[in-house]
Chains A and B, each alone.
Chain A
Amino acid sequence: MHSDRASLGLRIAAVAGLAFLHLPILLIFLYAFTTEERTYAFPPPGLTTQWFAVAWSRPDIWDALLLSLQVAAVATVLAMILGTLVAAAMSRARFFGREQISLLVLLPIALPGVITGIALRSAFGIMDIPFSTWTIILGHATFCIVIVYNNAVARFRRLSGGVMEASADLGANAFQTFRYVLLPNLGTALLAGGMLAFALSFDEVIVTTFTAGQQATLPIWMLEELIRPRQRPVTNVVAMVVFAATFLPILIAYYLTRNGQELAGSGK
């Protein structure tokens, strides 16, 4: 009989692997409280909460945070609309070009981000479009569509076509069926997709550097600090905030979809 218990070596390797995934992030929390200003010395010589106050009173951080929230919110809404439309179309019918469309949706994240970035930038250049908040949103919405799509299409697949036919038989028109049958069934999947899209957009930096011009989103602000560290303690605090801001939507998305195993993580 095949043994039902994992060997000790496997258990150690699995737990060590998970620890490898999580310990580095925990370190961020420790460093946000360090009293050391100039280096990344470990262990921290002392602990303090003063950097939270310093970060709080920095207008440049607030500006970057607001821009990031704004971009993520608009890009998420756009992606939710477009992603749901594709998912609805794909679930309804077999048609010519179906495979190509699914590839097209996937392409913005299957190709390295630097390519999406430079492609958008050269297109803006050719068409003389000046950089603005909208150019950032344009890029973000493009690669967020697939996140919403993945979640929605999995839910559509589980949804039996019978409920829609029943709704039509009972005299509902297409819009009523959408409002009273489809939307309640899709709700959590769309919300989960939206949460993940928001998290992705909020910390996106690779495409953003190409589409942002002079504006700085929070990740761009952080990237500049990473390349030329000037205010390490404040950056530590910002890193913690960014982590928290993406952590919560992910957790919510997980709880919204945990029964269906449809949180298409491999499709980030």
Chain B
Amino acid sequence: MSREAIFPARGPADRLTAAFWRHPRLLLGLLLTPPLLWLGVVYLGSLAALLLQSFYSIDEFSGMVVPEFTLKTYAELLRPSNYDVILRTLLMSAAVTLGCAVIAFPIAYYAARFARGRLKALFYLGVMLPLWSSYLVKVYAWKLILAKEGIITWAAESTHTSGILNAILALPVIGGNSLSTSYVGMFLVFTYVWLPYMILPMQAALERVPTSMLEASQDLGATRAQTFRTVILPLALPGVIAGSIFTFSLTMGDYIIPQIVGNSANFIGMAVYQLQGTAGNIPLAAAFAVVPILIMLVYLTLARRAGAFDAL
């Protein structure tokens, strides 16, 4: 007696399974359709709407949006006051990225090379928790810290180092009335908030540096500093660049920290927020928003070329 090797179809579910088997594309299509509809329609559609608006202009007398194609709005970006906003944002993003890289390196290096077992888990959790915990709460904590009557002033007074604090605040441009109204304060908050985004990719890159290379470097007579400069740093660079994608992009688009800390100087994110809200100038807001998109596209292209995506 011979039995069939293939089970007979018992219902629509089986027949559908057979169809999936014969036409793999069918299942793929079914899987991809809902998310692609969502992201394609909701997200890309919205971005297209934004791009479209940036080519409109606003009628200076009526304040109404004129839906005709023009580059006038982009030309407005080059006005000194708007150009300053872009430049200031880029400088702050670069400074924050640098600050994050410097603070992140020892943490990432220690976690990647020396921490083992429980300590490693502790380091990992120690970076993950601040990364995911509430952004607003973190900013709020810094408002408490930087306030004139806050903990930093108190600490400076009780250690008799108020002079140093006042000297920092007296610096031109980056200083100010108190830490919470100066660029120094804003830089600190930005660095704090985005630091974990730098540590994780950096650590991932450092973990991939083979110990044998460090040993070879030492065998060949390199000092610690030379090993760091010629072996560790080049190999860790993709991780640093990967992290910098986050710190740079996140700083560039943020509009909440400049509102809460700092001397109310304008940043790109804030300009977008104010232009679309109180000013009602949607075209200029859209044009401002296109700037970070373009910068990030260039940045991502360069980062991909530097091999940063493998470190993510």
Q: Which residues of A contact B (CB under 8 A)?
A: 1-2, 4-7, 10-11, 13-14, 17-18, 20-22, 24-25, 27-28, 31, 39-43, 81-83, 85-86, 88-89, 92-93, 95, 101, 104-105, 107-108, 110-116, 118-123, 125-126, 138, 141-142, 145, 168, 171, 173-176, 196, 199-200, 202-203, 205-206, 209-210, 219, 222-223, 226-227, 235, 239, 242-243, 246-247, 250-251, 254, 258, 263, 265-268
Please tell me which one of the listed residues A119, A202, A254 contacts residue B125 in the complex, with CB atoms under 8 A apart.
A254
Residue among B36, B39, B111, B128 making CB contact with A14, cutoff 8 Å: B111
9 contacts between A and B (CB under 8 A): A17-B103, A42-B144, A43-B154, A89-B32, A112-B250, A118-B289, A173-B14, A203-B133, A268-B197
Closest 8 CB pairs of A and B: A112-B253, A13-B106, A14-B110, A119-B46, A203-B134, A173-B17, A123-B46, A40-B147
Contact with A along B110-151 (1 / 0, CB 8 A): 110110000001010111111111111111111111010111
Report B-chain residues with C-beta under 8 Å of the C-beta of A243. 133-134, 137
Q: Is B218 in contact with A2, judged by CB distance below 8 angstroms?
A: yes
Cβ of B20 under 8 Å from chain A: yes
B107 contacts A82, C-beta separation under 8 Å:
no
Interface SS, B side: helix
Smallest Cβ distance from B290 to chain A, in angstroms? 9
Beta-carbon nearest neighbor of A199 in chain B:
B132
Q: A10-B114, A107-B43 are in contact. List 8 more A-B contacts (CB 8 A).
A: A14-B111, A25-B133, A40-B143, A115-B272, A115-B289, A118-B272, A210-B276, A226-B256
- B173 contacts the other chain (Cβ, under 8 Å)? no
B94 CB, min distance to chain A CBs, angstroms: 15
Chain B residues closer than 8 Å to A6, beta-carbon distance: 110, 113-114
Contact partners of A267 in chain B: CB under 8 A: 312
How close is B188's CB to chain A, nearest CB, in angstroms? 10
CA distance A199 to B135 in the complex (A): 11
For B197, list chain A residues within 8 Å (CB).
266, 268
Task: From the candidates B111, B132, B139, B195, name the one contacting A21 in the complex (CB within 8 A).
Answer: B195
**Contacting residues of chain B (254-276) with chain A, CB-CB under 8 angstroms:** 254-256, 259-260, 268-269, 272-273, 276
Residues of B within 8 A of A (CB): 7, 13-14, 16-17, 20-21, 24, 27-28, 31-32, 34-36, 38-40, 42-47, 49-50, 53, 103-104, 106-107, 109-111, 113-114, 121, 123, 125-145, 147, 149-151, 153-154, 192, 195-197, 200-201, 204, 211, 214-215, 218, 224, 242-243, 245-246, 249-250, 252-256, 259-260, 268-269, 272-273, 276, 282, 285-286, 289, 292-293, 296, 300, 312
CB pair B292 A112 closer than 8 Å: yes
Pair A254/B128 contact, Cβ less than 8 Å: yes
- The answer on a CB contact under 8 Å between B46 and A268 is no
B17 touches A206 (CB 8 A): no
Contact A20 B128 (CB under 8 A): no
Chain B residues with CB under 8 A of A113: 253-254
